[in-house]
Amino acid sequence: MNLHEYQSKRVFARYGIPIPKGEVASTPTEAREIAGKLGGKVVVKSQVLVGGRGKAGGIKLAVDKDDAEEKAKAILGMDIKGLTVKRVLVDEAADIKDEIYLGLVIDRARRRAVMMGSSEGGVDIEEVAATMPDKIVKVAIDPCIGFRSYQAMDLATALGIPKELTRSFGQIASGLYTAFVENDATLAEINPLVVTGDGKLLAVDGKMSIDDNALYRHKALADLRDPSEEDPYEVEARRFDLSYVKLDGNIGCMVNGAGLAMATMDMIKLYGGAP
């Protein structure tokens, strides 16, 4: 289950990760009111469970509350990769001096969580991996001992974090790992984690994916699920505790295991069909 940006950042905040002040709006009038309370420049950000929001015009800077209302009016109702924008997050605009990527995933080959960092923040990590793999630093975390301070120091050094921010970075990295583990996440990332003009670290964007098999342990998180952002067939299948994957072929497959599913699809394709 994927969380929206505003939901992910609220989880992060519970673990001591600094996030901008902001609230969610579903109408331009609400966006205006939020911007008025925040004062100054704000960022109006579409809340859809898909990447590339900025490139699609779903993230806009507003100079005041009137401008925030206009920007929200332009974003709400937009279609971004097949999803309709129904909510926007209105955040205080950050004075960004530098951008960093920081994230956690499960490395199945190593059988442990891996924290990844890159000095190329604000860019999709897949793009960085494809074009500048040397810019990604990885730290494998032993689940028996957890994330250690020396690992945070190694990451900070590799990413070029200023010495005066090393302690703060370590607290953020440790908080991210704790959030990842305690919420049974399969992904937790801050992109970007920014260095502000006044020399502080701030998580201006966030993303979390929660293991569906663990949601019975996290009712509060399960209640955050947004079915309107999911495939309706997958929503219906989940009502009956079925795993459903939508494909674009013409032969339906009903199988009782992942291995059999793959073998069945291979056989169909071998004989010219499309599962």
Catalytic residues, by residue number, are 101, 189
What CA–CA distance (Å, rounded) separates 210 from 218? Answer: 10
Residue 250's CB: how many other CB atoms inside 10 A? 9
- 272 Cβ neighbours under 8 A, 6+ residues apart: none
DSSP-derived secondary structure letter, 15: T
E-state strands within 40-171: 42-46, 59-62, 79-80, 83-84, 88-92, 96-107, 112-118, 136-141
CA distances from 228 to 43, 84, 98, 141, 260 (A): 24, 9, 35, 35, 31
34: which residues sit within 8 A by CB, 6+ positions away? 22, 23, 25, 42, 68, 90
Which residue, 64, 90, 60, is CA-closest to 75?
60
